[in-house]
Amino acid sequence: MLDLPYDQTYLVENVIDPSHVYISHHGTRGGGNRKNAQPLDIDVLEFSAQGIRGRWRGMKKPNETWKQIDFVAPNLVLNTANIEKRGWSFGLALYSIPLGKGRCRLLARGYRNFLNLGVYLRPRWLDHWNTNKILEQDLPLIVGQQAEIERLGESLKELYLPLKTSDTLVMKYRKWLDKFGSSMPYYQGYATSKNTSNGDRTSQPMLLDRFSRHTQICSSCNRAYQVTNQLKQIFIGVAIALAALAIVTDKFESKIVAVSASLAAVVLVAVLWKVKTKFERSYTRN
């Protein structure tokens, strides 16, 4: 669960768009690889008030397995892939809640029906680091996109330059908003919009750091963050006490042991400080 500093419709557009994954999430666990970037074959199987059902696959390999993307109106996106020979299925469910103009909350959950032992053994907060990183790789781009669209004050029909081999589902979603989104409090469709000007924004601050967007509202990460802080303070005290012991003791062997233990405590403090920042700071590209 995390809060994002942009409208729900921009989040849905982001997660319904498979083509950006190869580039934006290169080298990230659960992300993509730039060498696999390619034109996509995208089919829209259903377009109705209930949502959009689509499928996609790359064009590089003939007969590549289709992957599913389902937009369940008004705020759920399911990305699902299958390994048919093994009967395996896996994916990501993304459910978004508007918090006001320019803000939304995302509830994300991965799912799969195989090799689940590692999921149960791995700490939740460690998985959350990776999920946050993936979303933060897109975050400044989406914030900038929304700000520029609002500044220009034109419809997406005039601003977007869609590619048939990449943007089919993005365009379908924006057109879905044109056709079915009128009851939403605000939206940016392809040709129409509602309450999208800057003046409609809430006074809430932009949530650009990971602590504000996620750690303080996540029970798992908040608990791990507090424990990390406590351990850091404990080892700072241990390092100081051992350094003092090394100064006052007369025995050379005891000095060596105390200094070595103090340095080890300092190393642990540095490690814990780095862990602490993982709960506080957003991922930034090099």
User: How far apart, in Å, are the Cα atoms of 150 and each of 102, 176, 185, 198, 242?
Assistant: 11, 20, 16, 7, 58
Q: Which helix (H) or strand (E) segment is 226 a member of?
A: helix 219-248
- Residue 61's pLDDT is 87
97, 105 Cβ separation under 8 angstroms: yes
The 10s digit of each residue's pLDDT in 62-71 is 888 999 999 9
The 10s digit of each residue's pLDDT in 171-190 is 999 999 999 998 888 889 99
Q: Which helix (H) or strand (E) segment is 54 a member of?
A: strand 51-58
- Residue 94's pLDDT is 96
Mean pLDDT of 195-223: 78
239 and 179 assigned to the same domain? no
Over 90: is that where the pLDDT of 167 sits?
yes
Question: What CATH number is given to the structural domain containing 82?
Answer: 3.90.380.10
91 and 195 assigned to the same domain? yes
- Residue 104's pLDDT is 93
Instruction: Give percent of the chain with pLDDT exceeding 90.
Output: 76
Angle (deg, nearest 10), helices 219-248 and 252-280: 160
- Residue 264's pLDDT is 96
Residue 45: inside a domain: yes
Number of domains making up the chain: 2
- Residue 158's pLDDT is 95
156 and 261 assigned to the same domain? no
231 and 272 assigned to the same domain? yes
Please give the residue range of the domain that contains residue 262.
224-280
Out of 140, 170, 202, a domain closes at: 202
Would you state the structure tokens that stand for residue 222, as one six-digit string? 């908040």
Total-model pTM: 0.88
197 and 260 assigned to the same domain? no
127 and 238 assigned to the same domain? no
Mean model confidence pLDDT for the chain: 91
- Residue 38's pLDDT is 92
Out of 202, 236, 255, a domain closes at: 202
The 10s digit of each residue's pLDDT in 92-145 is 999 999 998 889 999 999 898 998 887 788 899 999 999 999 999 999 999 999
The 10s digit of each residue's pLDDT in 70-83 is 999 999 999 999 98
Residue 211: inside a domain: no
For the beta carbon of residue 223, count every other beta carbon within 10 angstroms.
Answer: 13
- Residue 118's pLDDT is 77
Cα separation of 133 and 174, whole Å? 26
Cα separation of 67 and 76, whole Å? 17
Cα separation of 19 and 27, whole Å? 15
Residue 260: inside a domain: yes
45 and 113 assigned to the same domain? yes
Burial (CB count within 10 angstroms: exposed 0-12, middle 13-18, buried 19+), residue 153: exposed
Residue predicted with more confidence, 149 or 197:
149
pLDDT band (50, 70, 90) for residue 204: low
Mean pLDDT of 156-181: 95
210, 136 Cβ separation under 8 angstroms: yes
Q: Which residues pair with 70 in a beta bridge?
A: 53, 78
- Find, among 165, 186, 140, 191, the residue nearest to 17 by Cα: 165
- Residue 268's pLDDT is 97
101 and 162 assigned to the same domain? yes
Mean pLDDT of 215-237: 96
234 and 270 assigned to the same domain? yes
